[in-house]
Amino acid sequence: MLPSPIARRLLLTPLLFVLTLLIVVAFPFAYAVAYVLGRKRRRAARLLWFALVWGTRESAAVLECGWLWLRRRTRDDRHYDIIRRYVAGLYAAAERWLGLRLRIEGVAEGQSAEPGDGDRPLIVLSRHAGAGDALLLVHHLLTDYLRRPRMVMKAVLQLDPCIDIAANRMPNAWVSPGGGAVDDIARLAAGLGPRDALVIFPEGGNFSPERRRRAIRRLTRLRRVREAERAARIRHLMPPRPGGVLAALEAAPSADVVFVAHVGLDHMATPGDIWRHVPLTGDVCARWWRIPAEDVPRDREARTDWLYTQWERADAWISANKAPVPK
């Protein structure tokens, strides 16, 4: 169970500032040692630089949120600007120090001859696999596509002070273990404006082979035989959980739907994986495709079938683009 919001703010926010100060003070010595003793890839030195950027950027974002609170602007859209700068800083640091190179296929904005396409709400359904994929998605929605993301996130992320403070001042939903967020997702979707994007990870968690097997067994126990059979043929994704997606589609019938598949981060699921694979030696590739609202089926059963069809499309793209796991 999470501590109360007051307890989180009183304990974790000062802890963030203390840890950031320790990193800043110790950085010159720690970096010199890591640089001299590190191997050719200098993993420790790279991760130290990223930790320094992370701590200072997050501390700055929390202070900016505090300034808005003092000015009684806790519901101000300037929070999106704070998060955009924060995430953009982390993205730039990942490019410079961790070897991140991102290539996106398709156009999330669905650019075409119709000028109205860029002014329709979006429901973004993304694969969830690997460290930082949500951060990359938020960065591109905020910076490249000038969208205001509404996120469906795990409640435990509120232990991060910046996420806790900023995200709770914007329209978002929190999911606890064993709990659902269907009503919250419907509420978020119903309030979507023309420049908003509701982000959902239909798998319900970060992909792993074991989680995929458990999800298929769960469908079998629930006698959802057709879904279990289709899920078993999808190799690189966990079966989508349709409840939240269906709630979003019903609450926002005018929203276009964007699907996001990606490869290049799926082998980095644990701290040990991150250590072994920094710096990244291959590109992170993503595929976006947009489906207009009028092409989304209206019947609930047809929508579930359509969701699985799109998930199969994502799985086929991943199979075609997935590179061997680097040593």
Query: Per-residue DSSP letters for 268-287?
Result: --SHHHHHHHPSP-S-EEEE
Q: Is residue 81 part of a domain?
A: yes
Cβ-proximal residues to 108 (8 Å cutoff; 6+ apart), any chain: 122, 124, 140, 141, 144, 145, 258, 260, 288, 290
In a domain, 205, yes or no: yes
Residue 326, in any domain of the structure: no
The answer to whether residue 282 sits within a structural domain is: yes
Q: Is this model's pTM higher than 0.85 or not?
A: yes
> 112 falls in which pLDDT band (50, 70, 90)?
very low
Please report whether residue 327 resides in a domain.
no
The answer to whether 284 touches 212, Cβ cutoff 8 Å, is no
Q: Is the pLDDT of residue 117 over 80?
A: no
Q: How much is the average pLDDT of 111-116?
A: 36
Considering 38-42, 104-108, 115-119, the range whose residues carry the highest mean pLDDT is 38-42
Write down the mean pLDDT value for the chain. Answer: 91
Distance, CA of 246 to CA of 260 (rounded, Å): 17
Q: How many domains does the chain have?
A: 1
Is residue 55 in a domain? Answer: yes
* pLDDT confidence bin for 326, thresholds 50/70/90: low
Instruction: Return the residue matching tokens 């509701």.
Output: 198
**Residues 50-59 pLDDT 10s:** 999 999 999 9
Domain contains 279: yes
Place of tokens 């991102």: 102
- Alpha-helical segments (H) within the chain: 5-37, 43-70, 78-97, 133-139, 161-167, 182-190, 209-221, 225-233, 242-251, 271-277, 300-321
**Cα three-residue angle 131-132-133, rounded to 5 degrees:** 100
Closest to 197 in 3D by CA, of 304, 83, 120, 116: 120
Domain that holds residue 251: 5-321
Q: How many CA atoms lie within 13 A of 19 on its CB side?
A: 17
Q: Is 117 exposed, middle or buried (0-12, 13-18, 19+ CB in 10 A)?
A: middle
β-strands 122-126, 102-105: how paired? unpaired
The reply to whether 57 falls in a domain is yes
> What is the CATH classification number for the domain harbouring 246?
3.40.1130
pLDDT at 118: 61
pLDDT at residue number 36:
83
Q: Is 4 helix (H, G, I), strand (E, B) or coil?
A: coil
Confidence of residue 158 (pLDDT cuts 50, 70, 90): very high
| pLDDT value, residue 322 | 85
